[in-house]
Structure 1
Amino acid sequence: MRLIVTAGPTREYIDTVRFITNASGGRMGCAVARAAAEAGHHVTVLLAQGLVSSATSALTQNTTVVPFVTVEDLKGELRARFAECDALVMAAAVGDFRLEEPAKSKLSRSAGPINLRLLPTEDVVAAVCAAKRDDQVTITFAVEDGAVDEMDAKARAEMAAKKADYVVVNTPVAIGRDDSRACVLSASGVVLPWAMRSKQQLAREIVNLLTGSE
């Protein structure tokens, strides 16, 4: 099986030095990539630029690493490769906003207060999955908080909007940790129930789900 796995946070630049990002460390995506490669699958990891040097050593053979920076970078890399893959695991933490007009040089504090106008970014998974074939499988991730029923309902709605096959629902507590309280949902119901698992264990279960293994 040929898999694309995305991992890590996007960056949206404010000026030539500063950027908006999030706290994702890419652990979940890298764990899925490693589990898939160890199971003998060919894996392309679209990995956040800032994680390439630290995360690459944790990956194995059968793995190709392609860096990305912005949401547009990630979308472009996915569109270029999606038709050739059998499955996509979208574990990257994609930013929801970008600067309307990034500054062309470093901003100075001496200029005083600065107002930044943010615009919503395009939904990368929805854009890519618009060209999804019936024989391709996509798994997206949703970070939610609140009551379990509310989180599940939000995640299912997001999964349907993106035309994904499965959604992994977890909470903000998982960010930066080696374990995650998560569940996996499909349109037909609960595939993996809510439980605390190591990210390595969850990664193996995701790979088994993709390949139809127990």
Structure 2
Amino acid sequence: MRVLVTAGPTREYLDAVRFISNASSGKMGFACAEAAARAGHDVVLVTGPVTLPDPKGVRTVRVVGADDMYRAVMKAYPRIDAAIMTAAVGDYRPAERFAGKLKKKSETLTLRLVRTRDILKEMGRKKGKRILIGFALEVQDAVHQALVKYKKKNLDYVVLNTPRTFAADRMDCRVYREGGVVKRFKGATKESVARWIVGVL
């Protein structure tokens, strides 16, 4: 099976040195890519900026911004059978990127942000017979929001987790599909969660 995995954060630059991002370490996505490769799948990993080394036996594509990730994912998408979308892609980017370094000129600075393209929604729209697994990091009304994402993005599974999973080696999460929760993990290693996910492909 040909498997696409996304991992890590994205960076949306305000100027040459400053950017909007998040605390995703990429560990979950890299664990999924490694588990899929060990299971004998042909794996391509599209990752945002992380410090992890390229997994063995995996074709790794490194990107920076949400637009970069969109292009890399859509380039690979026609040739894959399943996708595990763990990346924490930025929802917004600065409407304008300043040349050089933005100087400190006033007490306040107002930024205008615009939406980035919804990669997972586009994948769901073009899904066909592919298996599509998404991740939902939610804080408020978490289960409802995860199930909304499951339906809107046309997913086969959605993995609900919390901000505590960022950079951690262990995690609590629940996996949902049509009909409700199908698996619960508490204090599980990301490698064990990854093996379970790869097992449902």
Shorter chain as normaliser: what TM range? Answer: over 0.9
Asked whether 1:60 is paired with 2:59, we answer: no
Asked whether 1:92 is paired with 2:87, we answer: yes
SS of the residue 2:75 aligns to: helix
Q: What per-residue deviation string (whole Å, max 9, x for no partner) do you get for residues 102-138 of structure 1?
A: 112211124653211112222210012211112x001
Q: 1:175 aligns with which of 147, 156, 166?
A: 166
Shifted more, 12-21 versus 108-117: the winner is 108-117
Shift of 1:56: 2.3
Residue aligning to 2:27: 27
Amino acid at match of 1:115: T
Residue aligning to 2:192: 201
Asked whether 1:128 is paired with 2:123, we answer: yes
Residue aligning to 1:158: 149
* TM score, norm. by length of structure 2: 0.95
Unaligned runs of 5+ in 2: none
Unaligned runs of 5+ in 1: none
Amino acid at match of 1:105: G
Q: Distance in 1 between matches of 2:174 and 2:187?
A: 9
Let me know the Cα RMSD of the aligned residues: 1.4
Residue aligning to 1:73: 68
SS of the residue 1:203 aligns to: helix
Q: Distance in 1 between matches of 2:83 and 2:173?
A: 19
> Which structure shows the higher helix fraction?
1
Q: Is the 8 A contact 1:38 1:60 kept in 2?
A: no
Shift of 1:5: 0.3
Q: Distance in 2 between matches of 1:92 and 1:193?
A: 21
